[in-house]
Amino acid sequence: MITEQQARDAAEQYREEGYALLRGFIDPEEVAHLQSETARIYEAGMQHPSTWRHGNLCYEILPEEDFGRRYVIQAYWMAWVSDYFERLRRSEPFRLVLEPILGPDIRQVTQQIHWKPPGAGLTGYRFHQDLRFREVKEAYRDIETSSINAGLAIDPSARENGCLQVVPGSQKLGYVGLSDEGDGQIMKGLTAEDELRAKGIDPDSIVWLEMEPGDLALWGLMTVHGSLPNTSDHDRAFLISSYVRADSSDRGEWAFRGGQSIPLGDAPSLCKYEKLYERPEPHYVNQKWYA
Ligand SMILES: O=C(O)CCC(=O)C(=O)O
Ligand SMILES: [Fe+2]
């Protein structure tokens, strides 16, 4: 596990450069649990022929009818079906790394695994800033400074299997609107270098965050980042969690209150799924965003 000093150094780097990388965020024996539980969640997702939702829990499926075979590319809020992920999200390593940035009262607004199954094709994320995913901007105050994303490598993450790429210092550019044109889908197509240059970004400044299982990346809502599709024969599972300072938003599930770890309650809280209370029941979401 990381030390308080490493957490403070990461916070410092994050403030200056808009990202940070912490090696060995969780221990090797913990990584084995993370990987086996991730495989179990993948199999749970595979039971669904198309994208399925129940509360905040969701499995994003590329269906057989359109992709020749079924792939799971994302799971959201696995904490509702996994004691392991319920505890990990509010575990001591996360408290250590989040407190210097967000303080002791913290809610979580996203919990998601992104897989890049070999052969699935549509597994790249064009360059963007995550501010675009805070659809209801009024729900957050001081949105840029009171929110942070953490990405935990589950599988080895390298260039060939689409590791995360960040643009250091891009958090200072303001919102640049990358990938917002057309239907705004970030998983369709690739970002051309000229698109970056047009927004004042030098493609040569991109940092490829190659990570070993158990390493953690941090980035902010204003940090320009993306990743390529997987062209190797190894999957890339990555756990992304987004946390907010509790006094900046009513959204999210408690993670820490006064520095104490807080379990999920009986019913889900509004995170980012705007229809949560309208459609709380299990249902299939038939949206072919990739068409
Ligand atoms: O999984 C990745 O490589 C990046 C995902 C991402 O940036 C996002 O979902 O906002
Ligand atoms: Fe993102």
The pLDDT of 117-140, averaged and rounded, is 93
Q: What is the mean pLDDT of residues 232-250?
A: 97
Residue with tokens 């990358």: 178
* The amino acid at 84: Y
Q: How far is the CA of 194 from the centre of ligand 1 (A)?
A: 21
In the reported structure, the alpha carbon of residue 172 is separated from the centroid of ligand 2 by a whole-number distance in angstroms of 17
State the pLDDT confidence band at 92, using cuts at 50, 70 and 90. Answer: very high
- Cα of 35 vs centre of ligand 2, distance in Å, is 22
Nearest-atom number in ligand 1 for the CA of 128 is: 7
Q: What is the mean pLDDT of residues 176-181?
A: 93
Question: Atom 7, ligand 1: which residue's CA is nearest?
Answer: 226
pLDDT (tens digit per residue) in 35-90: 999 999 999 999 999 999 999 999 999 999 999 999 999 999 999 999 999 999 99
Residue 224 has pLDDT above 90, yes or no: yes
Q: What is the pLDDT of residue 241?
A: 98
Give the amino acid at 181.
E
Q: Which residues surround ligand 2, an ion (CB under 5 A)?
A: 130
- Ligand 1 site residues (CB inside 6 A) read 114, 125, 130, 164, 225, 227, 238
Q: What's the gap in Å between 187 CA and the centre of ligand 2?
A: 11
pTM of the model: 0.97
User: What is the structure's pLDDT at 219?
Assistant: 98
The pLDDT score that the predictor gives to residue 11 is 97
Closest ligand to residue 113's CA: 1
Domain ranges of the chain: 4-121+137-154+213-220+228-269
- Please identify which residue in the block is written with the tokens 């320009």: 224
Give the position, in ligand 1's atom list, of the atom nearest the Cα of 225: 7
Closest CA to 97 of 219, 231, 247, 203: 219
**CATH 2.60.120.620, domain 4-121+137-154+213-220+228-269, yes or no:** yes
Residue 182 above 90 pLDDT?
Answer: no
| Percentage of residues of the chain with pLDDT beyond 90 | 92
Q: What pLDDT, on the 0 to 100 scale, is given for residue 75?
A: 98
Cα separation of 72 and 55, whole Å? 18
What is the average pLDDT score of the chain? 96
CA of 223 to the centre of ligand 2 (A): 9
Alpha-carbon distance of 247 to 104, in angstroms, equals 11
